[in-house]
Amino acid sequence: MSGTLQSVLHPAGADAAVVEQFAWVLFGAGTVIFFAVMALMALSLRDNARPLRPGLWIAGAGVAFPVLVLSALLVWSTWRSAQLVPQSSQAALSISVTGHMWWWEVRYRDPAGGREIVTANEIHIPVGQTVHVGLNASDVIHSLWVPALSGKRDMIPGRVTGLTLRADRPGVYRGQCAEFCGAQHANMALHVVALAPDAFRDWLRRQAQPAREPQGALLERGRAAFLAQRCQTCHTIRGVAETARLGPDLTHVGSRAHIGAGLLRTHRNTLAGWIADPQAVKAGVFMPAAAGTDGATLRALAAYLEHLQ
Ligand code: CUA
């Protein structure tokens, strides 16, 4: 898999290629015009510069030129925009993503049983397929933007919007909330993982499974700590406690590359640090610290979550 580039200038899908072309054409045209104006200004400042029919310059360079250039760019960009992949919820695969302060809830429909598969902060898609992503938000306005794959689209509480994602080669593409949504807006990242269709089907089948049973005393203790700490008030682990929707679904948290919406790599050490003091990692986050937990229990809980692959 390629790296996790977050760049408009490295498109990995057809729509992103259109956006990249816009960026280069506008940047190129702006650069040419800027240097032309600077050259004319330098000429006009020479000692022996003589005014050359000022009325013609004002009408030509001040009125006709901008009208022509802006009209041409408008016609071209409208024509090019019409070639973007049409937004349609009839795509082969539909995913829904809900923005929360400050993480992403991602829901799939299980092709086998039809029930929902809930995950967080990572969107897996099959390469070469057009994927419709239905968007909304639970609290304030967020915006989904994965520059290598598409343009951005706002996520508005009480309203469903949509975005088409399509990756033409496998890779991990970083995205970012693109609408200021509070203290941790900057740390509201996500990753789109584009997999070969077979690998995607395998991934979805694994995600549809309930959580792995803990093997051994440490992991058993970790699961008991999850319940004793009342983590299930906010977090679901399918097969353990399934009613909460306030925080990210943790059924397969160990299979995700990051915790804290792209903030830390998933590892029992980062999990333990996060659980012990989330405010120290991501100030303002709604998760309370695990109060009165001894080190051994914390280690067991972190090991248990890491093992939820
Ligand atoms: Cu969510 Cu900014």
What is the DSSP code string of 205-271?
Answer: HHHHSPPPPP-SHHHHHHHHHHHHTTGGGT--BTTTB----SS---TTGGGSSEETTTTEE--HHHH
185 and 99 housed in the same domain: yes
- Residue 124 CB–ligand 1 contact under 6 Å: no
- Residue 177 CB–ligand 1 contact under 6 Å: yes
184 and 162 housed in the same domain: yes
102 and 133 housed in the same domain: yes
- Residue 188 CB–ligand 1 contact under 6 Å: yes
pLDDT above 70: percentage of residues in the chain: 98
184 and 264 housed in the same domain: no
Last residue of a domain, one of 58, 81, 104: 81
Give the whole-angstrom CA distance, residue 186 versus residue 271. 20
In this structure, is residue 120 part of a structural domain?
yes
Residue corresponding to tokens 């939820």: 308
Residue corresponding to tokens 């005014």: 51
In this structure, is residue 302 part of a structural domain?
yes
Distance from the Cα of residue 168 to its chain's centroid: 17
Distance from the Cα of residue 175 to its chain's centroid: 3
In this structure, is residue 87 part of a structural domain?
no
Across 262-286, average pLDDT: 93
Last residue of a domain, one of 81, 113, 131: 81
- Residue 185 CB–ligand 1 contact under 6 Å: yes
Closest ligand 1 atom to Cα of 179: 2
Q: What are phi and psi of 222, to 5 degrees?
A: -65, -45
Distance from the Cα of residue 42 to its chain's centroid: 46
Residue 94, pLDDT > 80, answer yes
Q: Are strands 171-177 and 142-145 parallel, antiparallel or unpaired?
A: antiparallel
Which range of residues forms the domain containing residue 22?
15-81
Q: What is the CA radius of gyration of the chain?
A: 25
* Dihedral, CA of residue 285, residue 187, residue 134 and residue 254, to nearest 10: -80
**Is residue 97 within 8 Å of 105, Cβ to Cβ?**
yes
Last residue of a domain, one of 179, 203, 227: 203
| 292 pLDDT tier (thresholds 50, 70, 90) | confident
**Going by CA atoms, what residue is nearest to atom 1 of ligand 1?**
142
In this structure, is residue 1 part of a structural domain?
no
**1-34 residue pLDDT tens:** 445 678 889 899 888 999 999 999 999 999 999 9
193 and 113 housed in the same domain: yes
100 and 198 housed in the same domain: yes
Closest ligand 1 atom to Cα of 178: 2
In this structure, is residue 23 part of a structural domain?
yes
Give the whole-angstrom CA distance, residue 236 versus residue 248. 8
Cα 7 to ligand 1 centre (Å): 18
Closest ligand 1 atom to Cα of 182: 2
In this structure, is residue 169 part of a structural domain?
yes
Across 128-155, average pLDDT: 94
Cα 302 to ligand 1 centre (Å): 27
199 and 221 housed in the same domain: no
The total number of structural domains that make up the chain: 3
Please give the helix or strand (H or E) that residue 43 lies within, else none.
Answer: helix 14-44
CATH number of the structural domain spanning residue 268: 2.60.40.420
In this structure, is residue 86 part of a structural domain?
no
Across 144-156, average pLDDT: 93
- Residue 104 CB–ligand 1 contact under 6 Å: no
pTM of the predicted model, to two decimals? 0.87
**231-253 residue pLDDT tens:** 999 999 999 998 898 999 999 99
118 and 174 housed in the same domain: yes
Cα 166 to ligand 1 centre (Å): 22
Helix (H, G, I), strand (E, B) or coil at 168: coil
CA distances, 140 to each of 143, 160, 198 (Å): 10, 13, 37
48 and 107 housed in the same domain: no
21 and 43 housed in the same domain: yes
User: What's 60's DSSP letter?
Assistant: I
Closest ligand 1 atom to Cα of 101: 1
28 and 69 housed in the same domain: yes
In the numeric block, which tokens belong to residue 283?
Answer: 């100030």
Among 51-60, 120-129, 171-180, 210-219, the least confident range = 51-60
Cα 37 to ligand 1 centre (Å): 39
223 and 269 housed in the same domain: yes
In this structure, is residue 6 part of a structural domain?
no
Cα 179 to ligand 1 centre (Å): 5
Residue 291, pLDDT > 90, answer no
Distance from the Cα of residue 221 to its chain's centroid: 34
